[in-house]
């Protein structure tokens, strides 16, 4: 007889593994099925995020930032460096080690939390007698509740499939064996900017081709403008409003034909091309037809606000469903679903999901942008504070950017916080907490912030909402 579990999670990415752990914490027998293989064919838990996403990209961003600091900024501190070079193989090996530590960490967490792990593909077999039968690698198991957390895959450019040698997805982009002389990227979204930054810092000539006429259209305009200025200064070449045509890849080289914003035909010759034009939900191998699980026209699992699918006791979370494709959004949905299965009121607040782009300067935001508030006709007050006027930023030698607060004109409730600058990824947490508790700008302005710290810029931006900054 098939081994039976209360909760079976298909997919061991940040959504899936967290859901399995939470389910187990709540007293359920829980299993997780994940098919990701490491170089030796063994399991590599953590999904896209751990293996070819969040974690390895941040490892390379750190290595390349260290390299750039040593070459460009150490001299300001009186530190002399000569013969600086980058050993790309060593950098990649370190990145792989960081990934492996995370893989092993999740395996340990499964043992600690008594989550049964099946390495292999998970696919629906049938639904019978209130149970779902699921193929879990070589075994067959059954579940009262199923959580689908099968993630997403990179979207290829039509007519230019990924070969991961020359035309790279995020996977190949994290494994380039030497610094390319000329690197092209299609799409100036999150991956385009992060990966473009890595290889530019290491010496590649980087060109990013973006279809939209505006840079980072979903980011607050003022912040996006400031970020663009910084990227231009760094030599990251971003062409907006292009129409990408044919990509020719041969032994002789790689070229991208496109028309620029003026409609003029152009050709970009590159050594490697990273295509980062978004991601598509993944249900490959899940066999949703076997149980009648409904997908939308883009292949995403259809869910309601609470991650319920069309089937009783089948839930779906993370990148495979609607909403932002972010690891922490997947995790929050995983926790909420496990709690809902337990009859609790699991909760995900979509208004307070932070976004971070880990470039230098970092870009981070939560809540509404100024353009969204204007479009919605909301009366608001805005306050900004530049890092230029922050003592800690000056000591760090990194004064690019600002913190920006948007608050309701009448109630003073914080409606959005936008940061471009040093450690924006960490600073944004204060804003998330504040918004989650529906704080006002005045609340933040009245809280004591350590001196000297970057977080004082947050306090000052909150003060700026009522035009009473103290240090600017």
Which of ligand NAI, ligand FAD, none does 151 bind, CB closer than 5 to 8 A by kind?
ligand FAD
Ligand-binding site membership of 187 (annotated): yes
> Contacts with ligand FAD in 96-155 (CB under 6 A)?
121-123, 149-152
Q: Which of 70, 98, 125, 211 binds ligand NAI (CB under 6 A)?
A: 211
Cα 145 to the chain's mean position, in Å?
28
- 48 DSSP β-pair partners: none
Site for ligand FAD in 21-40 (CB under 6 A): 33-36
Residue 315 CB, nearest approach to ligand FAD (Å) = 12
Give the residue, chosen from 33, 45, 244, 428, that forms a contact with ligand NAI under the rule CB under 6 A.
244
Q: Pick out residues in 165-194 that bind ligand FAD (CB under 6 A).
A: 170, 191
CB of 251 to ligand FAD, least distance (A): 28
188 binds, among ligand FAD, ligand NAI, none (CB under 5 to 8 A by kind): ligand NAI
172 is in an annotated binding site: no
Contacting ligand NAI (CB under 6 A), which of 356, 366, 393, 439? 356
Of the pair 49, 419, the CB lying nearest ligand FAD is at: 49
357 is an interface residue for ligand NAI by CB under 6 A? yes
Token readout for 380 is 């608001």
Stretch that binds ligand FAD, among 73-81, 278-286, 307-315, 335-343 (CB under 6 A): 278-286
Closest approach of ligand FAD to the CB of residue 53, in Å: 3
Given 69, 73, 145, 451, the catalytic residue: 451
SS (H, E, C) the chain: CCEEEEEEEECCCHHHHHHHHHHHHCCCCEEEEECCECCCCCECCCHHHHHHCHHHHHHHHHHHHHHHHHHHHHHHHCCCCCCCCCCHHHHHHHHHHHHHHHHHHHHHHHHHCCCEEEECCEEEEEEECCEEEEEECCEEEEEEEEEECCCEEECCECCECCCCCCEECHHHHCCCCCCCCEEEEECCCHHHHHHHHHHHHCCCEEEEECCCCCCCCCCCHHHHHHHHHHHHHHCCEEECCCEEEEEEEECCEEEEEEECCCCCEEEEEECEEEECCCEEECCCCCCHHHCCCCECCCCCECCCCCCECCCCCEEECHHHCCCCCCHHHHHHHHHHHHHHHCCCCCCCCHHHCCEEECCCCEEEEEECCHHHHHHHCCCEEEEEEEHHHCHHHHHHCCCCCEEEEEEECCCCEEEEEEEEECCHHHHHHHHHHHHHCCCEHHHHHCCCCCCCCCHHHHHHHHHHCCCCCCCC
In our burial notation (b when 16+ CB lie closer than 10 A, e otherwise), range 105-144 reads ebbebbeeeebbbbbebbbbbebeeebbbbbbeeeebbbb
- Does 207 interact with ligand FAD (rule: CB under 6 A)? no
Residue 190 labelled as part of a binding site: yes
330: contact with ligand FAD by CB under 6 A:
yes
Is residue 79 part of an annotated ligand binding site? no
Residue 54 touching ligand FAD (CB under 6 A): yes
Question: 192 among the known binding-site residues?
Answer: yes
| 232 annotated binding-site participant | no
Nearer to ligand NAI, 211 or 396 (CB): 211
- Considering the rule CB under 6 A, would residue 186 count as an interface residue with ligand NAI? yes
How far apart are CB 105 and ligand NAI at their closest, in Å? 20
Q: How far is the CB of 465 from ligand NAI (least distance, A)?
A: 27
Pick the closer one to ligand FAD by CB: 358 or 385: 358
58 is in an annotated binding site: yes
CB of 327 to ligand NAI, least distance (A): 7
438 torsion bin: left (phi>0), alpha (psi -120 to 50), beta (else): left
Let me know if 77 is a catalytic residue: no
Binding residues for ligand FAD, per CB under 6 A? 10-16, 33-36, 47-49, 53-54, 57, 121-123, 149-152, 170, 191, 282, 285-286, 318-320, 325-328, 330
| Catalytic center residues | 451
Binding residues for ligand NAI, per CB under 6 A? 186-192, 194, 209-212, 244, 276-279, 324-326, 356-358
Residue positions forming the annotated binding site: 58, 122, 150-152, 187-194, 210, 278, 319, 325-328
Residue positions forming the annotated binding site for NAD(+): 187-194, 210, 278
């Amino acid at each position: 007889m098939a081994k039976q579990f209360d909760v079976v999670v298909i997919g061991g990415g940040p959504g899936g593994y967290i859901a399995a752990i939470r389910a187990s914490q709540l007293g359920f027998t829980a299993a997780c099925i994940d098919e990701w293989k490491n170089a030796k064919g063994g399991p590599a838990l953590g999904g896209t995020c751990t293996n070819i996403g969040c974690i390895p990209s941040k490892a390379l961003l750190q290595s390349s930032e260290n390299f750039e600091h040593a070459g460009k900024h150490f001299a300001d501190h009186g530190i002399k460096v000569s013969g600086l070079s980058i050993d790309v193989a060593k950098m990649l090996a370190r990145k792989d080690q960081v990934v492996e530590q995370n893989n092993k960490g999740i395996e340990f967490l499964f043992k600690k939390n008594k989550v049964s792990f099946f390495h292999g593909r998970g696919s629906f077999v049938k639904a019978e007698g209130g149970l779902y039968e699921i193929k879990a690698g070589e075994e067959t198991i059954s579940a009262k509740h199923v959580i689908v957390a099968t993630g997403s895959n990179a979207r290829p450019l039509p007519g230019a499939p990924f070969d991961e040698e020359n035309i790279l997805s995020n996977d190949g982009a994290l494994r380039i064996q030497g610094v390319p002389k000329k690197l092209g990227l299609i799409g100036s979204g999150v991956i385009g900017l992060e990966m473009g930054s890595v290889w530019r810092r290491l010496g590649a000539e980087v060109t990013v081709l973006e279809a939209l006429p505006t840079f980072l259209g979903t980011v607050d305009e003022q912040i996006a403008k400031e970020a663009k200025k910084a990227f231009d200064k760094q030599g990251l070449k971003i062409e907006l409003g292009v129409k990408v045509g044919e990509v020719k890849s041969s032994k002789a080289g790689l070229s991208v034909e496109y028309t620029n914003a003026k409609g003029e035909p152009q050709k970009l010759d590159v050594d490697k091309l990273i295509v980062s034009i978004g991601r598509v939900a993944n249900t490959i191998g899940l066999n949703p037809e076997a149980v009648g699980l409904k997908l939308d026209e883009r292949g995403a699992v259809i869910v309601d606000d609470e991650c319920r699918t069309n089937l009783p006791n089948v839930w779906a979370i993370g990148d495979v469903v609607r909403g932002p494709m972010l690891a922490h959004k997947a995790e929050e949905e995983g926790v909420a679903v496990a709690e809902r299965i337990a009859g609790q009121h699991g909760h995900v607040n979509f208004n307070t999901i932070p976004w971070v782009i880990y470039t230098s300067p970092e870009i981070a935001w939560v809540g509404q942008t100024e353009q969204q508030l204007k479009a919605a006709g909301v009366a608001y007050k805005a306050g900004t504070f530049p890092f230029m006027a922050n003592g800690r930023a000056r000591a760090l030698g990194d004064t690019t950017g600002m913190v920006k607060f948007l608050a309701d004109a009448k109630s003073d409730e914080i409606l959005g916080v936008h940061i471009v600058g040093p450690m924006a990824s960490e600073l944004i947490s204060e804003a998330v907490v504040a918004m989650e508790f529906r704080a006002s700008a005045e609340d933040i302005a009245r809280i004591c912030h350590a001196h000297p710290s970057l977080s004082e810029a947050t306090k000052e931006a909150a003060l700026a909402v009522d035009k009473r900054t103290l240090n600017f």
